[in-house]
Structure 1
Amino acid sequence: MTMILGIEDKYIFLVSGLIVSLLLSYKQLFILYNKYKKTTSAKASTKSSGKKSYSSSKDDPIPQPTPLMITPEQVANYDDRPWRPFRWPYHQTMSIFKLDVNHWLDMDKYYVHYIEEKKRIIHRYGDENIGWLPGSEDACLELMQFVKDHMLKRYPLLFSSEDNGIHVKNHLTGEILDFSEPLKEPPLIYVSKMAKEDFYLVKKNPEDDRHYLVAAVVPFPGGSFGIKHKLGKHLDVIHSEVPYYESKLKKSMERWFERMAPADLVERASWYISWDHKLLCNNVYALKEGEKVDSDVAPDQFNVRVERQTLRRLPKSQAIIFTNHPVFYSIDEMKDEPLIPSLIKKIIYEAPEGISKYKNFESFRDHIVKYLDGLIERQIELGLIKEDTPIKTLPSYPFAHFVDNKDVNYGWTNPTVKDPEKNNYIDVAKEEIRQDELREEMSKKTKSAEISEQV
């Protein structure tokens, strides 16, 4: 059927078409506007969350912690945030995130064990693990005050004072710390009795505008790091053994230190694998070059040691404080977390050569590969992953996927672990320390006997 339009009808048709076009254009503009709004809002949110934007002024207020009302009894079952810092592709970067001040000095069920082990290591090895240079006194004192204030504000049921901080009771250890002047002990000793973290203090030398290590208390280096020979050294010297530091990290680190304001707090995490829970020196770093893990070590003994690190600047001394807090996670406790076994296997076999050598992957990877393959196959059978699921950094990085399901008064517990006591390694760790001390004593006796025979 042919439709014949008159002149008036044609005008009406054209006007109607124009109105429809305008309405459609308006609708498209409205859709585009909403998309733009969402995009800019997301960008603003990312910026405010601070994942990659740190541009505080030196005059910005320093964030203060929020009280966490946990009791000493609750701490016995309290879990730290569950770190999973596994990345693929695996490139060497600073990989820093904005730090919530509430997590500057975290708490968990291993707190008392860490404090006791700090005392033992410092008493036994002294200046290998604690020291300070002339000129660092102001920074050490300021750090001590910062740690004390933080503990009193963040954990009011764990640390208390009735005389404005002159005496502070640590309700977890039962010790009363006396801060009256003159101090009874060096400031770094007080710090070690309050926080389970290791601390490094870095200051800029005005003569060359470069940053140097001026003080440190590091009972838990994990490997061969002794601070006695690092004090007074520039950051480049301290990090000389870190793979790709010169090409990937050097410029970023010095530039970051230069612009860092007291309101800028950041954190990051690195990791390696071992088959013990020693804080001073793990078995993987006790091996000589070319040595392999003992064949009788069960694959399910292996764990991931996460080195959780923070950076912040003290406002008065302008010292930069670097903290390190090791956390152990058994591979077994992560077996039901999608892709974790796959990521671990891929990294220990395909990481860049420098990283693989630095973390001594070759010493154990063939020993645990069948175990990892079994866990991967299990995840496929359970439907947690598919055979062709891409192996890549998880959306929840650098934490476990369940990190949002939490009650902060009881920590961040792994919902796949049915028996929490199974993951409490304190007794195992204490036995490892006892065995090491026995071996050390036997070695001393043997050397003494050999010297006597020679005489």
Structure 2
Amino acid sequence: MPVKLQPEVLLVAALAVAVLLSYKQTTAFLKKRLHHVKTHPDVKSDPEAAGSRRGSRYSAGEGEVPAPKPLMITPEQVHNYDDRPWRPFRWPYHQTMSIFKLDINHWLDMDKYYIHYIEEKKRIWMKYGKQNIDWLPESEDACLELMEMVMDHMVARYPLLFTVLKHGTYDSKPGSGRIIKNEITHEILDMTYPLKEHPLLYVSKVAKEDFYVAQKNPEDGKHYLVAAAVPFPGGLFGIDEKLGKNLDVIHADVPYYKEKLQKSMERWFDRMKASDPVERASWYVTWDHKLKTNNVYQLPQHNPNSEADLKSTDPREFNVRVERQTLRRLPKSKAIIFTNHPIFYSIEEMKDEPMVPSLLRKILYEGPEDIVKYKNFAKFRDHIVEYLDGLVQRQIDHGLISADQPLKTLPTYPFAHWATTDFDHVNGWTNPSPAYTKSDNYTARAKQEIGEHD
């Protein structure tokens, strides 16, 4: 489990905008795929046919979940696809798990930063290795089951993005297993046995999320981290420091964990069923887009220019890093899988969302002392307070809020209020604020930030 199971808060926003499916892109892609299937008769592109061959744990049996609904987006459309608009801000601000039932369609989401995340995972693995991705021998069954579940999900949910080139069951017999093509990166993933790579590496090549695998020790009844693929922890810690430790040790630094969460978390894990996945989100503020370690958590020995970078950064460039997290149990091994997917939202793009600037300012200065310290709010808040005050006054002037507006968690928590549907529009979700441009993409800037300090 990650070092930060941080709390969250709520907010509101503006009005929903849905973008229609690009007919020309879809038609051209489907023609290309049809030609490929005709010339390669062993290739099956029908997701339901794939599901019938896999003996999948998506078969909606007891203790399992139904298969996700196919989302027919093409590789070309992914570049224009926004993730769900998370706004996990609330007041009063206090420590809690704050979990919601997970719509399985959104276990492993897709967005326009997909290629950047996958490339960054490869770079971190090559440079840092087992500091960020590692496993214990006792995790083998759970990791194999996780690999199967992830591949099943991606093929079923995104049938135009992941093609099954060879069908087969995961029974560890030589030659069994599957071969899948990632249509976005064009990489062929050969998962026939014996496996060429560890299951966590295959998982990291198809999903943006970080993965933690926890198993219960029958001797003491506690859950231990037995495997993890975590290129994007956001803070300065490595998996090598957490592997083999139980949840109490891993969360020792989390504010109020011992007082409020320790007992309830273990009990909740014991009761958790494979059919009841959940999600939550936490957040913090930073002025960069690095995935491995954000500037707000950088130590001088790792980035001696951090203070100078902060002072020279325009407050309008600050962003909220949302840690979108899910929890689910694997049906066979009974391991608990925790995923984390970081998403960056600039404060500027949220400035027209009622009460968001007010909530941010309130939390930065009046949140619980231990959480304010844990998230390093004091490090930057004085630098952006004038900017936040200006946004609050702007909302008052425009009638978005009143001067005496009471701050509280709003009914649309944890999403923006303008996203009120089932989140299945083909082209994703676009912030209706004039401050947000659909074509904006921070990938190039993130690479520059990495090159300067990593």
TM-score (norm 2): 0.81
Runs of 4+ residues over 6 Å off in structure 1: 289-293
Flag structure 2 segments of 5+ consecutive residues without an equivalent: 1-59, 169-177
Say which structure is richer in helix: 1
C-alpha separation between the residues in 1 aligned to 2:269 and 2:191? 31
Displacement, 1:422?
Answer: 6.1
Q: How does 1:174-185 map to 2 (within 5 A)?
A: 174-185=186-197
Q: Which residue of 1 aligns with 2:164?
A: 161
* Aligned equivalent of 2:136, options 133, 136, 141: 133
> Contact (CA 8 Å) 2:134, 2:227: kept in 1 or not?
yes
> Contact (CA 8 Å) 1:71, 1:157: kept in 2 or not?
yes
Q: How does 1:23-102 map to 2 (within 5 A)?
A: 59-102=62-105
1:316 matched to 2:332? The reply is yes
Q: Which residue of 1 aligns with 2:426?
A: 409
> Contact (CA 8 Å) 2:329, 2:336: kept in 1 or not?
yes
Count of matched residue positions in the alignment of Structure 1 and Structure 2:
381
> Contact (CA 8 Å) 1:140, 1:188: kept in 2 or not?
yes
Displacement, 1:274?
Answer: 0.2
* Aligned equivalent of 2:341, options 325, 343, 359: 325
CA gap of 1:86–1:155, structure 2 versus 1, over 3 A, is same
CA gap of 1:210–1:426, structure 2 versus 1, over 3 A, is same
Q: Which residue of 2 aligns with 1:265?
A: 277
Q: Which residue of 2 aligns with 1:228?
A: 240
1:250 matched to 2:262? The reply is yes
Report the 3-state secondary structure (helix = DSSP H, G, I; strand = E; otherwise coil) of the residue aligned with 2:284: strand
Displacement, 1:293?
Answer: 6.5
One-letter identity of the residue aligned with 2:399: G
Displacement, 1:394?
Answer: 1.6
C-alpha separation between the residues in 1 aligned to 2:299 and 2:406? 34
1:283 matched to 2:300? The reply is no
Residue-by-residue CA offset, 1:141-168 (whole Å, 9 max, x unaligned): 0000000000000000000113226110
Q: Which residue of 2 aligns with 1:335?
A: 351
Q: Which residue of 2 aligns with 1:433?
A: 450
Higher relative contact order (CA 8 A, sep 6+): 2
Q: Which residue of 2 aligns with 1:212?
A: 224
Report the 3-state secondary structure (helix = DSSP H, G, I; strand = E; otherwise coil) of the residue aligned with 1:294: helix
> Contact (CA 8 Å) 2:69, 2:157: kept in 1 or not?
yes
After TM superposition, the structure 1 stretch with the greater mean CA deviation from structure 2, 398-407 or 288-297, is 288-297
1:367 matched to 2:379? The reply is no
> Contact (CA 8 Å) 1:293, 1:364: kept in 2 or not?
no
Q: Which residue of 1 aligns with 2:360?
A: 344
> Contact (CA 8 Å) 2:349, 2:435: kept in 1 or not?
no
| Rg larger in structure | 1
Displacement, 1:72?
Answer: 0.8
One-letter identity of the residue aligned with 1:409: V
> Contact (CA 8 Å) 1:292, 1:363: kept in 2 or not?
no
C-alpha separation between the residues in 2 aligned to 1:427 and 1:291? 22
Displacement, 1:435?
Answer: 1.2
CA RMSD of aligned residues (A): 1.8
C-alpha separation between the residues in 2 aligned to 1:204 and 1:60? 18
Displacement, 1:83?
Answer: 0.5
